[in-house]
Amino acid sequence: MNQQLKPNQPLVTHIYTADPSVHVFEDKLYIYPSHDLDHNGPDNDNGDQYKMEDYHILSIDDLNSTCIDHGEALHRKNVPWVSKQMWAPDAAYKNGNYYLFFPARDKDGIFRIGVAISKDPAGPFTPEPNYIPGSYSIDPAVFTDNDGKTYIYFGGLWGGQLEKWQTGTFLPDAEGPAITAPALGPRVAELSDDLLTFKNDAQEIVIVDENGIPLTAGDEDRRYFEGPWMHHYNGYYYLSYSTGSTHYLVYATSKDPKGPFTYQGRILEPVIGWTTHHSIVQFKGKWYLFYHDSSLSGGVNHKRCVKYTELKYNADGTIQTINPSEL
Q: Which residues are catalytic?
A: 19, 226
Residue 82 contacts residue 130 (beta carbons within 8 Å): no
Task: Give the CA-trace dihedral at 129, 135, 139, 145, to 10 degrees.
Answer: -100
User: Is the peptide bond prior to 260 cis by the omega test (within 30 degrees of 0)?
Assistant: yes
Q: How many CA atoms lie within 13 A of 106 on its CB side?
A: 17
Which helix (H) or strand (E) segment is 151 a member of?
A: strand 150-154
Distance CA 39, CA 244 (A): 23
Secondary structure (DSSP) of 260-278:
-EEEEEEEE---SSS----
Task: Report the greatest alpha carbon distance in the chain.
Answer: 50
